[in-house]
Chains A and B, each alone.
Chain A
Amino acid sequence: MEELDIKQIWQAYDAKLEKSLKLNQKIIREIQTQKAESSINSFRRNQVAGVVIGILWVLFLVFWTIVGYRNIYFAGSMGLIALFNIFAVATYIRHLALLSRINITGSITNTQQKLATIQSSLNNSGRIMTLQAPLWCTFWYNQQLVDHGGATFWIINLAVVSFFVILSVYLYNKLTYKNIHIKWVKAFIDGFGGKKLTRAMEFLNDIEEYKTEGVSNL
């Protein structure tokens, strides 16, 4: 089948639609009077819910930091954990602000790139959260333990903390949309953020490839 034939099939379809498509003006009038709500608004509501939960969690961490201020190890660890969480929530809020500036009339690749970036913002917050892992190994320290822990205690604890430092930095670097083609990265994010998130990340990758394909022919 030649190109012309394919276009003829489409033109016949067009002609058929032209003849039989009927517009329901009543519903369009309802849309014009704002009786219908956009699904983008429902997406925005989910994002706002995420921010509210994040802020409540940060407040909980700050509360425990203040309550436990006498134990420097506990307060220090909790305070740093709270900081990582504040940073993660701020990242999420920044993307939420970007959503309100999305121009739906913009070119497909640019608009979709912005939308997919926002949809995958949860991943950036998640990556930041991985960095707090070692601090969950130190929050239970106290002065007495540090003074009298002994060599075995320190060897085991330093090994555990070092392991989590290396692991969290490794995860922070690996869990990006550029690595979404790696099976375990996809499975890991699927497990934490769901398929919607990995789909947005894969799409970001697709858009980048799409934009660069053919550039070498210029």
Chain B
Amino acid sequence: MNRPEQEEQFLLVIEQNKGIVYKIANSFKKDEDDKKDLVQEIILQLWRSFASYDARSKLSTWIYRVALNVAIASYRKEKRKNELITPISESIIAFDEEESSNEKEDNLNQLQQFIGELKELDRALILLYLEEKSGKEMAEILGISETNIRTKTNRIKEQLKQRFSKINT
């Protein structure tokens, strides 16, 4: 594949998976500018490793690995310090936030708040669970055994259920 073809192919991949990048950035950063920076960093790292992507493994596994690795590494930084040499004013991925007060929206906010309170690795795990990844793929992405995945997922699900039942009582 020549360079222009590769660039077009990459654009297509990002277009099809922009939701993953946005959801991960949204789960790891609260501040809007931090989110914007994280999205840029994830896409930059995806582009850099795009040429070495091995088509034998699932595309989604590759995207989740890169995006979560970048997000977790950036999460440990204390605060935004204009780290990007080329700061951008526009967002790569723009999202029209609509104010809504219905029950579904409240539940989503609660769920996002719960995710935001988890430790980095648990946060990655619950995101993969909510994305309905199989135990095998989750194990491949996180680098732990499927048994370990099951134990941890059950623990977090239990916490989540308790959280929602408290709200609803």
Contact = CB atoms under 8 A, between A and B. Distances in A.
For A36, A109, A119, A203, the residue with the greatest tally of chain B CB atoms inside 10 Å of its CB is A36
Interface residues of A, number: 60
A39 B93 contact: no
B94 to A, nearest CB: 5
Interface in A89-124: 104-112, 115-116, 119
Interface residues of B, number: 73
A22 B150 CA distance: 35
A175 B11 CA distance: 47
A17 B145 contact: no
Contacts, number: 189
Given A14-B19, A38-B44, A21 B94 contact: yes
Given A23-B93, A32-B47, A108 B76 contact: no
Given A30-B86, A213-B152, A105 B142 contact: no
A13 B53 CA distance: 29
A41 B107 CA distance: 39
Nearest to A3: B157
B147 A217 contact: yes
A109 B144 contact: yes
Nearest to B83: A39
B121 A108 contact: yes
B86 A36 contact: yes
Interface string A10-36: 101110011011111111111110011
A1 B142 contact: no
Contact of B41 (A35, A38, A195): A38
A200 B72 CA distance: 11
Nearest to B164: A1
A60 interface: no
Interface stretch (A65-73, A125-133, A204-212): A204-212
B144 A39 contact: no
Contact of B15 (A2, A9, A23, A36): A23
B11 to A, nearest CB: 6
B144 to A, nearest CB: 6
B1 interface: no
A136 B164 CA distance: 60
For B15, B68, B72, the residue with the greatest tally of chain A CB atoms inside 10 Å of its CB is B72
Contact of A107 (B91, B96, B142, B157): B142
A86 B166 CA distance: 58
Contact of A17 (B23, B53, B92, B143): B23
Interface string B119-162: 11100100000111000000011111101111110000100110
B147 A214 contact: yes
A173 interface: no
Contacts of B152: 210, 213-214
B29 interface: no
B94 A203 contact: no
The 3 A-B residue pairs whose C-beta atoms are closest, nearest first, are A107-B143, A214-B148, A1-B164
Interface of A: 1-3, 5-7, 9-10, 12-14, 17-18, 20-32, 35-42, 104-112, 115-116, 119, 195-196, 199-200, 203, 206-207, 210-211, 213-215, 217-218
